[in-house]
Amino acid sequence: MPTLHWRDTQARKFVQQGYWEPRSLNEHLQEWSHRFGPRIALVEGEQQLSYFDFEQQVCCLAGGLADLGIQCGDRVLLQLPNGIAFASSFFALLRLGAWPILAMPAHREREIQALCELAEPTAYIVAERFLGYDYRPMAERQLGRQASLRHLIIAGKPSNAGVPLSALNGEIRRPAVVDPLDTALLLLSGGTTGTPKLIPRSHADYAYNAKASARLCGFAGDSVYLAALPIAHNFPLACPGLIGTLSMGGKVVFALTPGADEAFGLIAREGVTHTALVPSLVKLWLQAREWDKSDLSSLRLLQVGGARLPAELAAQVTPILGCALQQVFGMAEGLLCYTRLDDPQQVVLNTQGRPLSEADEVRLISADGQPVGDGQTGELIVRGPYTIHGYYRAEAHNQQVFDAEGFYHSGDLARWSPDGNLVVEGRLKEQINRAGEKIAAAEIEQLLREHPQIQDAAVIALADKRLGERLCACVIVRGDQTLELTDLRQHFQALGLPRHKWPDQLETLHSWPLTSIGKLDKRQLQQRFQDEAASRAAYLECCVPIREKPQELAAALVKHYLPDDLTLYEHNGEWALGIGSAACIRLLGNQLQLSIAEQRRQWPAEDLPEALGKALGELPFQDWRAYGTACFELARRLHGLPVQDGSRPPLRLDIPAVDIRLRDGTALIRALQPEALASAKARLQELDAKPLAPIRTGHAQPNVATHDAALYRGQVASAVAEIRQGRYQKLILSRKVPLKGNLDLVASYRAGRQANTPARSFIHHQGDFACVGFSPETVVEVSAQGLVGTQPLAGTRALGDSVEKEAQLRDELYSDPKEIAEHAVSVKLAFEELQAICEPQQLGVSEFMAVSRRGSVQHLSSRLRGQLRDGCNAWHAFAALFPAVTASGIPKREALQAIAAHEGAPRDLYSGCVMICDSHGMLDAALVLRTAFQHRDQAWVQAGAGIVSLSLPERELEETREKLASIAPYVHLAEPQLATVRQTAEVQP
């Protein structure tokens, strides 16, 4: 720790030279309110607050807090998501001279308890819930445990112990008299030790931090700042963030989450000019731009910091988002380095800029404490007008990281580029920087060592394409015990650790690699396990422009690659084609088997989502996408009914050797082998240049009108009787109509796709089985971020042959109680199924009883959305929703039994799904309806109708005809077979 004498000299200098103003942050707020009064200061959803109203709100809240007894010098734990409640509470505490401790919403019991023990807060202000997590039980436990904690203040509905934040509306009193050089707030440090560190920032230093940043970043009265990162973090709070924007009279817009789905809408709606992100989010925003065309033209500057920004990613920001980029190297301890708005592009793309203040003293030193030579890399040490000179209540640690001259030793390794900018090269400190979240290796190691099966542990950071770095736990297990990553993650969850602190990778060893002096050699571990990941084969990729419509080029490619096994899958404007199989996962009996070339591994499949998680985790590929199918009969297993496996596995996923993705104007080609990539590229370009044959209407003419009509009517009648006996509520019975010949997959696809508006479309060819379909709905959609969606369709009418007829039939659909009841029960069931796997607060019906046009019919359709809860993967969502209620019935188990009894033969892929999933956790499964099938020499189309107690056999038969009319007219038969089969009798499949 520096001597007091030194600190005084520095402080005097900063005051004299005007870096530190003689005003508290509360006095700044009063000044802003005075200057900018009626302008909008804050926006949260539909709510807006002017500067004047905001200051009033702060005064009243401060009054309410004072009534509770909160006073100058008290510490108050503040854990709120982005929003006005955060801003009001923060400034209200400053007004009282109480110190907010800025906890992140992601923090859970362990962190909160450690903060309470360290800082002894008198009150805890916390959200009722956020992203599905109910904070109240945790907060109440703290209240019971921590003697200093007297008040629990809940933003939202309190349970037993708390008071609602909204009720704290006291008389406006004079603000506390505080010394601007005193502590104003406590920021959390990423830390390197097992215990949390708090960073005391003073009024004067923090005001300077925010205002100087706002000036440097060109903020003014017309600036609109989007607070997308969690506002308790220094970056969005004061660099320039919330405080810097307010200091200039600008407007701050709060986003609850930093995802592109929320942020893009806010940018367009509010005319956002500035925002800040960490690199991993930049990547997601750039990807989202492929399909989200929101108007982002107001955006002027994107600040990126918190972790290393790869130059390739940096280079895409301006071309794709249309705004300038600024790199920020910062730390909650103080120092901020920014690239300048007028820096040349090469500086912005490749460096982390220069210190904010001319009074920042930044030095780079070698291991022996000496300054490094020009251009050499060394540890960055710093002191200056807004860098702390000690952590709060951490004397011993302060001795280690602050030197006698008051320099903070950051543990970051950096060099100066020839043009005088800083380039961050790495770090000395044992920390994992996971998507910008800093995690102390020591904290995780300590927790791992407490695990009963673990004898010793070391935690290392490994480079990761998506996260920047991932957390790898290396452990020595006790005796001959085994430990799986999923077990470990469950253990961490049970301990109350936030998601970002759970290990991403687990490596078990028998002994540690040691350095020459016998210390654990983490560098060796890093090399070994980084290589392990690197030994996973990476797809080779290339992007080429295309001229042809993607659906047509996709069909041409399928035609070229057949009879290879392949799957074409259309979703969200992309036609994805997986060809061949480099690895395959199949459900065989009670085992899930992974086969790669001659090698096989098996997992018991009782818990299918877990087994799939494990098998997919073993795939020796990076950044893979799998293509697959699930047969309807998989549902019997999921519902505990006896199963008889058919000729094909009920679930199968293939990792393709060649993976082609087509969108308007571009094709991405990926292959595991260079030759395959080159030949796919050549083939694609050749096909793109060649005009395609005209699309013809189909000529298969299956007997949709009368085939098995009497049989079907009889089945419907007996199902209605069973429903009336109360055996089940709803049942979907289907009817197969044979085709006289073999399917021409490509011609059928082109004709059918041109005439249809499906939710998904596909061609699947695997061995002696093939199908082509135009799916009206998805069974489940899960994004890499764990957002789950499903779109039940139930209730059907034909489209008719004119606009008037369509409208008339739509009105009929909306007023038919049978169709409405049928739809409502389907939505209710989907909701209940999602409840089991989603965060309760995040689950909702985002669209109810709209009408979707699909081919020649219209359906009542609703959309449900949720966020997967911790511990659930995409396969939990799949297992919860499969089979689609639209194609099975209600309740599902009874419906499955009745379908088997009435239909007599397995449905196989009909009403199962064709799907894709990937290494990031994405899953998209299309319900297999409106599909033509081929198995060996038999081909057919199949459709069903939903039977309820009010069903009439003739009307349900008619509904199967209407649905078959969406596919049957487009089916083409392959020419040679057409000739031979025409002469034979009708073949029953």
Q: What are the residues binding ligand OOB (CB under 6 A)?
A: 190, 234-235, 239, 305-308, 327-332, 336, 352, 410, 412, 424, 427, 433, 438
Provide the sign of the torsion angle of the four alpha carbons 328, 329, 332, 335, taken in this order: negative
Are the C-beta atoms of 223 and 274 separated by less than 8 Å?
A: yes
**Helix 84-96 × helix 51-68 angle, to 10°:** 60
Give the SS3 label for residue 282.
helix
CA distance 106 to 424: 27
| Nearest residue relative to ligand OOB (C-beta) | 330
Three-state secondary structure along 115-132? Answer: HHHHHCCCEEEEECEECC
Alpha-helix residue ranges (DSSP H) falling in 181-233: 203-216
Residue 903 dihedral angles phi and psi, to the nearest 5°? -85, -25
Of 425 and 541, which has the nearer Cβ to ligand OOB? 425
Report the nearest approach of ligand OOB to the CB of residue 468 (Å): 9
- Residue pair 837/787 in contact by the 8 Å Cβ criterion: no
The residue (of 412 and 565) whose beta carbon lies closer to ligand OOB is 412
* Shortest distance (Å) from residue 334 CB to ligand OOB: 9
- Closer Cβ to ligand OOB, 190 or 792, answer by number: 190
Q: How far is the CB of 388 from ligand OOB (least distance, A)?
A: 11
* Alpha-carbon span 215 to 129, nearest angstrom: 36
Q: Which is nearer to ligand OOB, 29 or 210 (CB)?
A: 210
Class of residue 864 by CB neighbours under 10 A (exposed 0-12, middle 13-18, buried 19+): buried
Q: How far is the CB of 427 from ligand OOB (least distance, A)?
A: 5
Residue from 951, 472, 513 nearest 732 by CA = 951
The nearer residue to ligand OOB, 433 or 966, going by C-beta atoms, is 433
Beta-bridge mates of residue 952: none
Nearest residue to 215 via CA among 187, 237, 243: 243
For ligand OOB, the closer of residues 353 and 944 by Cβ is: 353
* Contact by Cβ (8 Å): 103, 115: yes
Give the nearer residue to ligand OOB in terms of CB position, either 178 or 381.
381
Q: How far is the CB of 235 from ligand OOB (least distance, A)?
A: 4
Our CB check for ligand OOB shows the closer of 51 and 225 to be: 225
Tell me the CA distances in angstroms from 437 to 102, 285, 499, one per residue in order.
15, 18, 11
C-beta of 932: minimal distance to ligand OOB in Å? 54
Min dist. Cβ of residue 104 to ligand OOB (A)? 10
Choice between 305 and 889, CB closer to ligand OOB: 305
Q: State the nearest-atom distance from the C-beta of 336 to ligand OOB, in Å.
A: 6
* Shortest distance, position 347 Cβ to ligand OOB, whole Å: 14
Is the torsion defined by CA of 380, 381, 385, 389 positive or negative? Answer: positive
CA pair distance 635, 927, nearest whole angstrom: 13
Residue 36 Cβ vs ligand OOB, minimum distance, rounded to whole Å: 25
3-state secondary structure of 599: strand
Of 213 and 886, nearer to ligand OOB (C-beta) is 213
Cα separation, 940 vs 971, in Å, equals 10
Least Cβ distance, residue 311 to ligand OOB (angstroms): 12
Ramachandran angles phi, psi of 55, nearest 5°: -60, -40
How far, in Å, CA of 63 to CA of 850, rounded?
49
Nearest approach, Cβ of 234 to ligand OOB (angstroms)? 4
Type of residue found at 400? Q
Task: Work out how close the CB of 79 gets to ligand OOB at its nearest, in angstroms, rounded to a whole number.
Answer: 17
Edge to edge, the sheet with strand 123-127 lists 163-164, 151-155, 123-127, 75-79, 99-102, 183-188, 198-202
Nearer to ligand OOB, 219 or 882 (CB): 219
Least distance to ligand OOB, CB of residue 313, Å: 12
- Name the phi and psi angles at 378, rounded to 5: -150, 175
Which lies closer to ligand OOB via its Cβ, residue 316 or residue 508?
Answer: 316
| Closer residue to ligand OOB (CB): 389 or 438 | 438
Q: Shortest approach of ligand OOB to residue 256 CB, angstroms?
A: 20
Using alpha carbons, select from 330, 373, 390 the residue that is nearest to residue 355.
330
**Alpha-carbon separation of residue 613 from 108, 533, 610, 756 (angstroms):** 25, 17, 5, 35
Asked if residues 707 and 940 have their Cβ atoms less than 8 Å apart, the reply is: no
Amino acid 988 reads Q
For 753-820, give the DSSP string.
HHH---SEEEEEEETTEEEEEEESSEEEEE-TT-EEEE--EEEEEE--SSHHHHHHHHHHHHH-HHHH
3-state SS string for 727-750: CCCEEEEEEEEEECCCECHHHHHH
CA 812 to chain centre: 40
Q: How far is the CB of 407 from ligand OOB (least distance, A)?
A: 14
Would you say 24 or 410 has its CB closer to ligand OOB? 410
User: Contact 69/150 with Cβ under 8 angstroms?
Assistant: yes
| Token duo for residue 936 | 């060996």
Q: How far is the CB of 17 from ligand OOB (least distance, A)?
A: 23
Q: Is residue 472 within 8 Å of residue 502, measured between CB atoms?
A: no
Q: Tell me how far, at minimum, the Cβ of 330 lies from ligand OOB, in Å.
A: 2
When the beta carbons of 438 and 892 are compared against ligand OOB, the nearer one is 438
**Would you tell me how many other CB atoms lie within 10 Å of the CB of residue 169?**
12
Looking at the Cβ atoms of 356 and 793, the one nearer to ligand OOB is 356
Residue nearer to ligand OOB on the CB measure, 327 or 783: 327
DSSP structure class, residue 973: B
Given the complex with ligand OOB, which of 190 and 406 has the nearer CB atom? 190
Q: Are 56 and 217 contacting, i.e. CB atoms less than 8 angstroms apart?
A: no
Q: Using an 8 Å Cβ cutoff, are 835 and 829 in contact?
A: no
